[in-house]
Structure 1
């Protein structure tokens, strides 16, 4: 993991699927769990989904709150 990855979780949106357009940090745990069971996609999106799964699974979502405050609204 790179430190910048945490910032990407609160700025990058899901590019495909049922939750297309939703911030990766806002994806539901059961959706992230499905990827964990079935396999994460290749590349950056897969890396970010895997990271978000670990954060969510371990109850560490509060770590992202300070990053959300520093994210400009669109």
Structure 2
């Protein structure tokens, strides 16, 4: 199966894990909502992780967590 670039990024986001801190090793999609909101208020970190956390924030706000978990489990 050939994946389009956007599909690959979505799969990568679904499999991304927190690299440090209290939630180290936890899938970003499984981070507590209050933690993601805290980052939103504080400012997301620079770089790839910050972009991914910002995307996770938007996914959670729009109630799309089940879609991301399904993608994670399938790929």
Question: What is the TM-score with the length of structure 2 in the denominator?
Answer: 0.80
Determine the structure 2 residue equivalent to 1:69: 73
Separation in 2 of the partners of 1:7 and 1:32?
20
Determine the structure 2 residue equivalent to 1:15: 19
Separation in 1 of the partners of 2:39 and 2:73?
28
Determine the structure 2 residue equivalent to 1:27: 31
Is the Cα–Cα contact under 8 Å of residues 5 and 48 in structure 1 kept in the other structure?
no
Larger radius of gyration: 2
Q: In angstroms, what is the RMSD of aligned CA positions?
A: 1.5
Structure 1 unpaired stretches of 5+ = none
Alpha-carbon offset, residue 50 of structure 1? 0.2
SS state of the match for residue 10, structure 1? helix
Structure 2 unpaired stretches of 5+ = none
Worse overlay, 23-32 or 8-17:
8-17
Question: What is the TM-score with the length of structure 1 in the denominator?
Answer: 0.81
Separation in 1 of the partners of 2:44 and 2:36?
9
